[in-house]
Structure 1
Amino acid sequence: MSNNSYNFNDLMDKNENRQYIQITSPLDNSVIGKVPALNQEEVDRAIQSAKAAFPSWRNVPLNERAEILYKAANILLEHIDRLTELLVREVGKDRKSAGSEITRTADFIRFTADTAKSIHGESIQGDTFSGFNKEKFAVVTREPVGVVLAISPFNYPINLATSKIAPALIAGNTVIFKPATTGSLCGIELVNIFKAAGLPEGVLNIITGNGSEIGDYVVTHPDINFINFTGSTEVGIGISEKAHMVPLLMELGGKDAAIVLKDADLAFAAKNIIAGAFSYSGQRCTAVKRILVVNEVADLLISHLKEEIQKLQVGNPLEKQVDIVPLINTKAADYVWDLIEDAKAKGAQLIYGGEREGNLIYPTLFDYVTTDMRVAWEEPFGPVLPILRVNSIDEAVDLANQSEYGLQSSVFTENLHDAFHVASRLEVGTVQVNNKTERGPDHFPFLGVKKSGIGTQGIRYSIEAMTRVKATVINLSH
């Protein structure tokens, strides 16, 4: 094997001298697979392979790169049943959501290829700036940045990996892909699908391993030219502190608020809020994580919320179709439970839930949550939803903006003027009017401000982020 050769599947072979990481299901703690814990030398080899493949890949015609992506989307759908089952077992997702993740990902890949074909450069005449003439003009093109490091989270191990990989590849970059440990089996399947679609060797390399061994090493590697990360704010801040002079695209934590005004359709708002807060047990960055409701309609809203929350199915997705599944691990469940206990101790009124069976926490709704309670500010990444009562629109906006996060917010109102007034003042990347907070459609811009992210994602925006502008100035007179 040469220094630039890297084949992850070779590393998957049983080796008595290699350390492996066992992947256990959050549903029953059964071991469902293992992945190699790579060392720094192997990471080096993966990166060098990607670096060596970059010059030829960037020169592959765009239509040929697009055809590989189209084929990958088709292969993904051909294996939807097997991948759905793997998603359920590896990250504890219900089957309906798992299947939707696969189909959405295939759509994402196709749209990425389509969009890249419509991104064009431009020419700029020199005489549009005073002191210059028509004999000087610039040809402006976009070029790939080089080797992209894509780091994906556990909760959407196929979709949020692809949202990084596909735009990077279509732009002519090569990719080092590090999935979350839980979710890495899905990540391996995804990489194999891209390779089966015709991706050349070295263009997409997956690495797995312990963060303590390879985490800091890979984000500070001198041959990484761009980092695209989705995960916690804590980890994101750490990456940004270490990755000197490397462009970043990050989707981090959130504390998305649903602001309910007095003229809102309360039954509609409640249905959206419960769906937005509790699907996949709230393990989503864009989950509704707090309700800010004008006091005069709070009681009526709560009655609708109780009606909706009681419809949620709780349990093991291996046994039936459910909405509330066990959390990804005990650490996550303990954290959510601590938030619930803190709210109880400080006087929050428990409206529904507040029960736990192992890592399964029942959907929990609190009223009269105050700003001294942790659940008012911290991101639970679990099925607990606090209600904070306010006396005015201004108070709701001010309270929403006090958060260190700024991913999304919802505003429910029948008054379009109030909707735009609130939207213009909220310090978030996206405001949803009369809808739950959510990601997508995937060609819309998706971004966070404050501690919720860096840069703008969304298919066109991601492609542009992972390219750089180059100007070639033509001087006709000399």
Structure 2
Amino acid sequence: MDIRPFWLAGRPATGGAEQIIRNSHDGRVVGVHAVPTPEQVEEAVAAAHAVRREAAALPIHVRAEALALVSRRIAERADELAQLISGENGKPIFWARGEVTRAVATFRFAAEETRRFSGEVQRLDTEPAAQGRLAYLTRVPHGPVLGISPFNFPLNLVAHKVAPAIAVGAPIIVKPAPATPLSALALGEILAETGLPEGMFSVLPVPNDQAGALVEDPRLPVVSFTGSGPVGYSIMDRVPRKHVTLELGGNAAAVVLDDADLDWAASRTALFANYQAGQSCIAVQRVIVTEPVAEEFTEKLLKAVAGLVIGDPADEKTQVGPLVSEQAAERVADWVAEAVAAGGRLLAGGTREGATIAPTVLADVPADTKVVCEEVFGPVLVVQRVPDADAAFAAVNDSKYGLQAGVFTRNLDLAFRANRELEVGGVIIGDVPSYRADQMPYGGVKESGTGREGLRSAMADFTYEKVMVLTGLAL
């Protein structure tokens, strides 16, 4: 099997070691990649630092056209990339194809936003003392970006680091998750076709225990991290003077109110509690349903869960595949066992076979158990019954997390009330919290992070506002 190179300052490179990537479903070897040496990591950082001014000065059309080329090339290689995602992640090919489609859109949106992300002017002669003065406002990159991406969306979450960086003219170094680096390395191949300046991008699949030097390097003033809360906050504590954006975890809730379409709510909740094997920070972990419809909804939910297709991620019909590793599945199974031991009722699933957890539904689970108050990151759903909308919204907010929430209602007043009261970064009315459009602002509050993704939002995060005042003008 060929050894995939990593990308050092826009060029393919091999290092002093190799790493084998295996499929979590059957253990087969998916790929082998080269691992950078510390000296090569230093070379990549030095190149990003050296090119930072040239990158910031790139004409808008150059950046936009490079991003549009990446979008087109991902689309042209869609099947290959989907197979790669499914192989290294264990994600069913159905969901992997969807991730590739989203990555195509992410780079396309970035190309479009690049052309709109230009300066604006502001007349200052609103006061006599500023007569003849005009302000020209622009946004300038902080400098090179360190993008640290997780395993669960190994292509599209890398895209959400790379695309906005290129859009604003910031060099970027990507550190992909050690479990799933192959998709990021394939993206490096496509980025190399753009003709962007040498040093504009590097993809460095280094082990996590070697990431500290990258995080602390003063030549990388921006750190964009997506992953677990403890790791994210340790980064923020480690480099308090850097500009750090964190997209962290959640325990997303879907609220089902009295007037909801129960068939729709049950089918969507069942599917999106288990898509990506629950390995999404906005997968439905809690479904909070009001008493008048609780029995009927739960019956429909269990029927929908029973209808999900579990199996080989390479099978086009599979909806629920394995977790990223057997170790991850063992942890989820332990959390389910803990919930049952604490008095929770197991309504469905609860079994493990290798890295695969059967879609699991629990009820009557104490509020202090991990499956309620932490992020499961597995195919586990907790049903919580409450008397009314007041109690439902309070239950959503009774969490240290605040990423997104879904509210199934057809009542416009309740929809706007949910938006006012729920302590989350996004409220999805009429659907699950798992909905995300890649161009919209995306991020959370409380322990779900700081900053926002979504192309324009991330572009703002990677830049600062600069003002030039022109004097003596006849306006």
Q: Tell me which interval the TM-score lies in, with the shorter structure as reference length.
A: over 0.9
Tell me the matched-pair count: 466
Q: Is the 8 A contact 1:439 1:446 kept in 2?
A: no
Which residue number in structure 1 is paired with residue 5 of structure 2?
A: none
Structure 1 distance, partners of 2:232, 2:317, is: 34
Structure 2 distance, partners of 1:83, 1:183, is: 12
Which residue number in structure 1 is paired with residue 233 of structure 2?
A: 237
Describe the superposition over 1:272-303 as per-residue Cα deviations: whole angstroms up to 9, x where unpaired: 11122111111111111101111232111101
User: Which residue identity does 1:405 align to in structure 2?
Assistant: Y
Which residue number in structure 2 is paired with residue 122 of structure 1?
A: 120
User: Which structure 2 residues correspond to residues 30-429 of structure 1 after superposition, within 5 A?
Assistant: 30-128=28-126, 132-212=129-209, 214-429=210-425
Structure 2 distance, partners of 1:156, 1:306, is: 28
Q: Is the 8 A contact 2:10 2:200 kept in 1?
A: no
Aligned partner of residue 279 in structure 1, secondary structure: helix
Structure 2 distance, partners of 1:66, 1:245, is: 31
TM-score, scaled to structure 1 = 0.94
Q: Is the 8 A contact 2:92 2:315 kept in 1?
A: no
Q: Is the 8 A contact 2:224 2:246 kept in 1?
A: yes
Deviation at residue 53 of structure 1 after TM alignment: 1.9
Aligned partner of residue 440 in structure 1, secondary structure: coil
Structure 2 distance, partners of 1:318, 1:442, is: 26
The alpha-carbon distance between structure 1 residues 347 and 235, as it changes in their structure 2 partners (threshold 3 A), is same
Q: Is the 8 A contact 2:181 2:205 kept in 1?
A: yes
Structure 1 distance, partners of 2:129, 2:435, is: 46
Aligned partner of residue 273 in structure 2, secondary structure: helix
TM-score, scaled to structure 2 = 0.94
Percent same amino acid at aligned positions?
Answer: 35
Structure 2 distance, partners of 1:369, 1:418, is: 27
**Unaligned regions of 5+ residues in structure 2, if any?**
1-7
Deviation at residue 422 of structure 1 after TM alignment: 2.2
**Unaligned regions of 5+ residues in structure 1, if any?**
13-17
Describe the superposition over 1:319-357 as per-residue Cα deviations: whole angstroms up to 9, x where unpaired: 452111111012211211111101111121111111111
Structure 1 distance, partners of 2:216, 2:415, is: 43
Structure 2 distance, partners of 1:319, 1:291, is: 29
Q: Is the 8 A contact 1:21 1:209 kept in 2?
A: no
Aligned partner of residue 418 in structure 2, secondary structure: helix
Describe the superposition over 1:104-155 as per-residue Cα deviations: whole angstroms up to 9, x where unpaired: 21121112111111123222333335x7321333211111221011111111
User: Which residue identity does 1:421 align to in structure 2?
Assistant: R
Aligned partner of residue 129 in structure 2, secondary structure: coil
Deviation at residue 55 of structure 1 after TM alignment: 2.1
Structure 2 distance, partners of 1:250, 1:215, is: 16
Structure 1 distance, partners of 2:32, 2:11, is: 13
Which residue number in structure 2 is paired with residue 15 of structure 1?
A: none
Structure 2 distance, partners of 1:34, 1:132, is: 66
Structure 2 distance, partners of 1:42, 1:430, is: 40
Structure 2 distance, partners of 1:416, 1:475, is: 50
Aligned partner of residue 377 in structure 2, secondary structure: coil
Structure 2 distance, partners of 1:281, 1:374, is: 18
Which residue number in structure 1 is paired with residue 3 of structure 2?
A: none
Structure 1 distance, partners of 2:121, 2:171, is: 28
Structure 1 distance, partners of 2:370, 2:229, is: 17
